Chain A
């Protein structure tokens, strides 16, 4: 390993010096006659799948796969947009519906309808009608409550967005900042979906008056400020996922629950990158992500629901990680058009 790295370094340095030496720069990419044997997957930094599965894909496809993870979902999409003229890789996975609109309007992916995805599931989770983005998994971003805290105080657990603004729940809620966190952005979208635009700003005004705490990111909100997790913080209400309670189970009991009327449905897509060197390999990888093995592995490793709804879920999820019956939805195109304005206006109104 280190020897190949050293060799790589030598080549790199030689290349660097050559580049500095001659101003004409790099050569044009060479077209290759044979089918490519490598595949580059661009994903986000939460990407996690069973190593044995990934290995199996390499063996069955005969492709050598490289994974690149430049940051969160937003960073991923922005990097794809920036590198359109010289694509980062062959296939992207992890573009969520709060960024899907930007990916679609910038045309960073090309159409591919995978046969591995049942038509009904595809229709339920599609970003638009062009199949440029294939849904792989989804999840609900919801407010979580520390049920034991409410029991101890003899208080009812709040249920709706409106409840959160009521005086009896003053100073209890912590949310991640929409400007620096994707679950935070999902919650902002939920308030837009439920209260309208610009009604959402009035709702946030009410939340602010009711003492909502804005944390930098999910980690601070959930693991430091929330009373129901490892950090034992002061606040019993936190914006997280509907699946989070399944990870807090001790001795068969979950001390937290998701408030299913406050959920925004987040959908993660994959797509063949426009200008990919290995588009066939990219399609194979999308089929692989939708295969029964990977779909069954997604809840454990990615904490999301599989897009293929026939997939069997882990036992604890059936009990402690229910999906919302009526998630709040906002079309990807609407989000793409307005997201920057929402975030800026939200920042002005809530942070000041």
Chain B
């Protein structure tokens, strides 16, 4: 009885948080779109779906997300092998590096990619500017890490003896891959693909910059209808379409993750990575080198080059200018903004990790009844929803819900870490959940037999083991909060900007000085995220397979 109450409470706290700071604002704003002079109206819906543009936008969104997902998987699986099944010097560095794009502000990535492909850029001859291929490339840039980490972590835990047995029985390497390895990896690949599809379908900034004016997606259309035309009906209708797409992704992803958790039980504890060998690893090495070098480092190098470009050649001028306030084009120095970022990210991380731990603990239970299992599945999916809902919708929702005492928080700085925590929460859950699911139930039973009460079992088994995943979860939450821009830009106060907000402001000003400082600040941000991820990487537990 007391135990059930305890678990209900553990689920209620994060649910209340998500309810107040996500579901309520979003639902209220969407509901406004259906109210017409006090009555319910479907007119907005009809108008939106009668417009040919709407269908084109939905089509573009799905096509671009599908292509981005397929390309990410195609290059991510070889990367997973190289970074998780072979051992070489500096592997941790490459692993940290591939995560950096995930947290870079999209406006900066847009400028970097565009600079490469304009007719005077290094890749100008290829005619990529404004092409579908460029959008797909940028989606791979952002989501490569998702596939590499998800698939790689399962691969690392995969028992190699089955494949070895097949090889001994005379199967060719291709046949072993096709009949043994691929089926074993399939749940991880499919689960990563569902997540990447979700990210691609809701990609906003980078698609807007790179796609050119023709590539409207659902997300960019919601932004346009809400913040430019104040067409709440149209925005509400599209928000619902987006929710349907997101929910479908989550159901698929959830289903596959459950399969992955079962598959995992067959893995042994031993590490199976072998030293890197050219004869065996050259294909995966070449693919990965091409992706990391060409797709990840090339745009980052472009940023670096532009951050060093001065009126008279190259130099560190823009980095030195980052410290100036008043003298330069900004009233707050970039270092002060960085300090703001660190402060809000710390608070957001504490929130996300505490709430994420509660969610993971609840969702990792194994109820005996099917309805109980279904309830947990729904709970798990609910906490992923914020990843797929437009920041504009949440931001406008805040304004019309959190607007009277005791919750008039619209001008409160506290909303920034709260919004960032909501974005980071799903990632924290994804890191911690596999660790908890991998705990052998016999361990808990043994503790019970030895006379431990339920709380004691929780403390000495679950919490003791999950603490190994907390380092990685904290790192992810921190890096995500540091780089978060969409929700933050809605809430950040002009006198206390975060680093990504500062980059956005600087890049919106003319002149070499502002542009150079924007690039320099972006490089500082990327470096900070790489360091955080590098540290988190060293604290990775074996069980954290999803990320």
Contact = CB atoms under 8 A, between A and B. Distances in A.
Given A12-B414, A70-B490, A74-B227, A233 B120 contact: yes
B227 A71 contact: yes
Contact of B208 (A79, A180, A222, A229): A180
A26 B208 contact: no
Contacts of A9: 347, 351, 414, 417
B510 A248 contact: yes
A46 B516 CA distance: 18
B494 A48 contact: yes
B511 A45 contact: no
Contacts of A51: 325-326, 331-332, 495
A225 interface: yes
Contacts of B515: 223, 229-231
Contacts of A102: 230
A69 B406 contact: no
A180 B224 contact: yes
A2 B227 contact: no
B173 interface: no
Contacts of B306: 230-231
Contact of B511 (A2, A177, A224, A248): A248
A16 B411 contact: no
B127 interface: no
B17 interface: yes
B4 interface: no
B101 interface: no
A177 B216 CA distance: 12
Nearest to A75: B227
Nearest to A99: B228
A37 interface: no
Interface in A61-112: 66-72, 74-75, 78-79, 81-83, 86, 88-89, 102
Contacts of B399: 70, 79, 82-83, 88
Contacts of A247: 509-511, 513-514
B131 interface: no
Interface string A4-18: 011011011101111
A209 interface: no
Interface stretch (A123-131, A158-166, A188-196, A211-219): A211-219
A45 B403 contact: no
Contact of B230 (A72, A81, A223): A81
A53 to B, nearest CB: 9
Contacts of A49: 331
Interface stretch (B111-119, B369-377, B434-442, B460-468): B111-119
B226 interface: yes
Contacts of A8: 412-414
Nearest to B507: A219
Contacts, number: 208
B412 to A, nearest CB: 7
Interface string A24-55: 00110110000000001001011111111010
B510 A351 contact: no
Contacts of B230: 78, 81-82, 102
Contact of A47 (B115, B208, B494): B494
Contact of A16 (B20, B495, B507): B20
A216 B208 contact: yes
Given A19-B406, A219-B107, A223-B515, A234 B119 contact: yes
A340 interface: yes
Interface string A197-223: 000000000000000001111111011
B510 A222 contact: yes
A240 B510 contact: yes
A18 B110 CA distance: 43
A1 interface: yes
B392 to A, nearest CB: 8
A223 B111 contact: yes
A351 B346 contact: no
A350 B347 CA distance: 46
Interface string B392-415: 000110011001111111111110
A1 B462 CA distance: 34
B259 interface: no
A282 to B, nearest CB: 14
Nearest to B312: A250
A200 to B, nearest CB: 17
Chain A interface bracket (under 10, 10 to 19, 20 to 34, 35 or more): 35 or more
B75 to A, nearest CB: 26
B343 interface: yes
A205 to B, nearest CB: 16
B146 to A, nearest CB: 25
A232 interface: yes
A86 B114 CA distance: 42
B450 interface: no
Interface in B216-230: 220, 223-224, 226-230
Interface residues of B, number: 80
Contacts of A345: none
Interface in B12-57: 13, 16-17, 19-21
A220 B231 CA distance: 26
Contact of B411 (A40, A50, A232, A351): A40
A213 to B, nearest CB: 8
Contacts of A244: 510-511
Contacts of A231: 111, 115, 306, 515
Contacts of B228: 74, 78, 179-180, 343
A30 B408 CA distance: 13
Contacts of A220: 110-111, 114, 209
A242 to B, nearest CB: 11
A46 B508 contact: yes
A81 B330 CA distance: 30
Interface in B163-219: 208-209, 211-214
A264 interface: no
A118 B227 CA distance: 34
Interface in B98-129: 107, 110-111, 114-115, 118-120, 124
B492 interface: yes
A305 interface: no
A237 to B, nearest CB: 15
Contacts of B505: 45-46, 48
A216 B135 CA distance: 14
B17 A16 contact: yes
A259 to B, nearest CB: 16
A65 B63 CA distance: 48
Interface string B347-369: 10001000000000000000000
Nearest to B112: A224
B456 interface: no
Contacts of A89: 411
B259 to A, nearest CB: 34
B208 A214 contact: no
Contacts of B227: 71-72, 74-75, 78
Given A2-B346, A26-B404, A78-B230, 7 more contacts: A15-B406, A40-B411, A45-B489, A51-B325, A179-B224, A225-B114, A244-B511
Interface of B: 13, 16-17, 19-21, 107, 110-111, 114-115, 118-120, 124, 208-209, 211-214, 220, 223-224, 226-231, 306, 309, 311, 325-326, 330-332, 343, 346-347, 351, 395-396, 399-400, 403-414, 417-418, 489-495, 501, 504-505, 507-516
15 contacts: A9-B347, A17-B16, A40-B411, A46-B505, A48-B331, A54-B495, A66-B411, A68-B411, A69-B493, A70-B491, A78-B230, A180-B220, A216-B211, A230-B512, A340-B231
Report the 5 A-B pairs with minimum CB-CB distance, sorted nearest first.
A247-B511, A230-B515, A86-B403, A16-B20, A15-B406
